[in-house]
């Protein structure tokens, strides 16, 4: 993969940058859409700023949410353009379409150092089309707006989409600083990590992480399991999980993982107590119960306090930690303590010189919502799904195409 420095003098050149600006939005009291976590925008700024400072005419493209190939006001990138301008300290021109009249006019009017943000890529069906021809046609329209391409949206490099994959086959291409950093971090996790190496997995479903668990049983020393997925692990050991989230069709798979872990000497750490509630609500009746005896009329919504202490103890001697997925329904204050306990333990490890990585997605949102700062961790990834697929050992199309480009 080429780095930006290998593209030569970019002054006056139109540089199409694929960023990941897929940030969470909510409505304020006045009914205006507001960004609730600007982490991905902040992570995208260094590459955009470096290109702008080099005199390039920067054309940023990104997606937001999952529109169905047509414009939807609630998925407009307009609020992102405003926030991006604030973080860059300069005006960002916002094009109200992706490759149409507004986009072409904005790019044509751009001067050296200017930044243009195109409207949501997924407003065009060609962006995510399964048809190679349809994707390629949209990619040609995007490529016509630029002279070179920079791939800097790590959160989408696992997708074979027009702005991620096909454009890179049409223009001289390079990897941006954000993607370069992410790949370097993941290589540290997969190529001879400093040990002990622990992985903390949470989130809702085991099925979302089957591939990564399978691969981690070959590389990690310890797996700590929390979140909704833990109840399938508990049920696989014949424990009562009440009304908790359970993937019954994954029980045999999980039993197999428990056997593999035992054979390979990988320690799997499960909670010893659970915060169990009568329903999925912050106001529900709740109690702390043994992890193996959740009442039939209760659902587990967080690991319990003893489990928080146990997990922190199991992390204490680790020199490498990867964490993906919260320990409970952290969005509701009564069920945030488990996630906070793990975050605090990882912060202490970071301060002690361990290499710690938060694997993006809900994990990143959780630590920020709980009041932790990004720089308290070794690295916070911008791409949860991409990180997991890399750890699974899968090829990521948005990266492999850049390797292909170096041979053309």
* Residues 62 and 153 sit within 8 Å (Cβ to Cβ): yes
Average pLDDT, the chain: 94
- CA atoms of 108 and 136, how far apart (whole Å): 23
21 annotated as belonging to a binding site for a ligand = yes
Q: Taking the complete model, does pTM exceed 0.75, yes or no?
A: yes
Cβ neighbours of residue 39 under 8 Å, at least 6 residues apart? 23, 364, 365, 368, 374, 380, 382
298 annotated as belonging to a binding site for a ligand = no
Task: Retrieve residue 258's tokens.
Answer: 């428990």
13 annotated as belonging to a binding site for a ligand = no
* Residues 92 and 45 sit within 8 Å (Cβ to Cβ): no
Residue found by looking up tokens 């310890």 in the block: 222
Task: Retrieve residue 345's tokens.
Answer: 């333990």
384 annotated as belonging to a binding site for a ligand = no
331 annotated as belonging to a binding site for a ligand = yes
Task: Retrieve residue 309's tokens.
Answer: 């202490």
353 annotated as belonging to a binding site for a ligand = no
63 annotated as belonging to a binding site for a ligand = yes
* Residues 350 and 378 sit within 8 Å (Cβ to Cβ): yes
Residue found by looking up tokens 């700023």 in the block: 49
Peptide bond connecting 107 to the previous residue in cis, omega within 30 degrees of 0: no
Residue found by looking up tokens 């400093």 in the block: 194
Q: What's the angle, vertex CA 136, arms to CA 135 and CA 140, rounded to 5?
A: 120
* Residues 290 and 239 sit within 8 Å (Cβ to Cβ): no
- CA atoms of 235 and 171, how far apart (whole Å): 52
| β-bridge partners, 320 | 197, 355
The answer to whether the Cα torsion of 340, 242, 203, 237 is positive or negative is positive
The answer to whether the Cα torsion of 128, 132, 134, 135 is positive or negative is positive
- CA atoms of 120 and 98, how far apart (whole Å): 7
| β-bridge partners, 288 | 275
pLDDT one digit per residue (tens) for the chain, 408 residues:
899 999 999 999 999 999 999 999 988 777 788 998 898 999 999 999 999 999 999 999 999 999 999 999 999 999 999 999 999 999 999 999 999 999 999 999 999 999 999 999 999 999 999 999 999 999 999 999 999 999 999 999 999 999 999 999 999 999 999 999 999 999 999 999 999 999 999 988 888 888 899 999 999 999 999 999 999 999 999 999 999 999 999 999 999 999 999 999 999 999 999 999 999 999 999 999 999 899 999 999 999 999 999 999 999 999 999 999 999 999 999 999 999 999 999 999 999 999 999 987 788 889 999 999 999 999 999 888 888 899 988 999 999 999 875 434
228 annotated as belonging to a binding site for a ligand = no
381 annotated as belonging to a binding site for a ligand = no
Q: What stretches of 272-401 adopt beta strand conformation (E)? A: 273-277, 286-290, 299-303, 320-324, 355-358, 379-380
Distance of CA 58 to the CA centre of its chain: 24
14: part of which helix (H) or strand (E)?
strand 14-18
Burial (0-12, 13-18, 19+ Cβ within 10 Å), 270? buried
End-to-end CA distance of the chain: 12
The answer to whether the Cα torsion of 379, 383, 384, 389 is positive or negative is negative
379 annotated as belonging to a binding site for a ligand = no
Taking only Cα atoms into account, the Rg of the chain, rounded to an integer number of angstroms, comes to 22
- CA atoms of 240 and 367, how far apart (whole Å): 30
84 annotated as belonging to a binding site for a ligand = no
363 annotated as belonging to a binding site for a ligand = yes
The catalytic residues are 40, 205, 361, 385
What the chain holds in terms of domains, given with CATH numbers, is 4-175 (3.40.50.1260), 183-392 (3.40.50.1260)
**Beta strands 299-303 and 273-277, pairing class:** antiparallel
Cβ neighbours of residue 348 under 8 Å, at least 6 residues apart? none
- CA atoms of 275 and 271, how far apart (whole Å): 11
| β-bridge partners, 287 | 276
* Residues 342 and 323 sit within 8 Å (Cβ to Cβ): yes
Q: Give residue-wise pLDDT tens across range 113-153.
A: 999 999 999 999 999 999 999 999 999 999 999 999 999 99
Phi then psi for 92, rounded to 5 degrees?
Answer: -120, 120
Q: Give residue-wise pLDDT tens across range 174-233.
A: 999 999 999 999 999 999 999 999 999 998 888 888 889 999 999 999 999 999 999 999
The answer to whether the Cα torsion of 71, 64, 140, 69 is positive or negative is negative
Cβ neighbours of residue 347 under 8 Å, at least 6 residues apart? 372, 376, 377
65 annotated as belonging to a binding site for a ligand = yes
């Amino acid at each position: 993969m080429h780095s930006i420095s290998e593209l030569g003098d970019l002054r006056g050149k139109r540089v199409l940058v694929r960023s990941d600006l897929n940030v969470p939005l909510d409505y304020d009291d006045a009914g205006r859409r507001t960004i609730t976590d600007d982490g991905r925008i902040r992570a995208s700024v260094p590459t955009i700023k470096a290109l702008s400072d080099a005199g390039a005419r920067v054309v940023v493209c990104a997606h937001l949410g999952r529109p169905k190939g047509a414009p939807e006001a609630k998925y407009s990138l307009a609020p992102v353009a405003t926030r991006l301008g604030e973080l860059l300290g300069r005006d960002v021109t916002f094009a109200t379409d992706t490759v149409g009249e507004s986009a072409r006019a904005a790019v044509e009017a751009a001067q050296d150092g200017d930044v243009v943000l195109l409207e949501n890529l997924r407003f065009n069906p060609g962006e995510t089309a399964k048809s190679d021809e349809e994707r390629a046609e949209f990619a040609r329209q995007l490529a016509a707006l630029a002279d070179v391409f920079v791939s800097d949206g790590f959160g989408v490099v696992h997708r074979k989409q027009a702005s991620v994959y096909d454009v890179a086959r049409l223009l001289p291409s390079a990897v941006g600083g954000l993607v370069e950093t992410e790949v370097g971090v993941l290589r540290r996790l997969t190529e001879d990590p400093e040990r002990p190496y622990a992985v903390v997995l949470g989130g809702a479903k085991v099925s979302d992480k089957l591939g990564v668990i399978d691969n981690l049983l070959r590389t990690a020393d310890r797996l700590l399991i929390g979140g909704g997925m833990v109840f399938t692990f508990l049920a696989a050991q014949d424990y009562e999980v009440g009304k908790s989230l359970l993937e019954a069709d994954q029980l045999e798979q999980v039993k197999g993982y428990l056997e593999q872990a035992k054979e390979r000497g990988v320690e799997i750490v499960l909670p010893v107590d659970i915060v169990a509630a009568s329903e999925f609500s912050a106001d529900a009746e709740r109690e702390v119960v043994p992890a193996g005896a959740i009442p039939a009329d209760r659902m587990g919504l967080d690991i319990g306090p003893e489990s928080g202490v146990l997990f922190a103890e199991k992390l204490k001697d680790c020199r490498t930690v990867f964490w993906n997925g919260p320990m409970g329904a952290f969005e509701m204050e009564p069920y945030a303590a488990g996630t906070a306990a793990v975050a605090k333990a990882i912060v202490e490890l970071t301060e002690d010189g361990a290499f710690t990585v938060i694997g993006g997605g809900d994990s990143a949102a959780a630590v920020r919502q709980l009041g932790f700062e990004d720089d308290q961790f070794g690295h916070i990834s911008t791409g949860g799904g991409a990180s997991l697929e890399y750890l699974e050992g899968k090829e990521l199309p948005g990266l492999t195409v850049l390797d292909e480009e170096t041979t053309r």
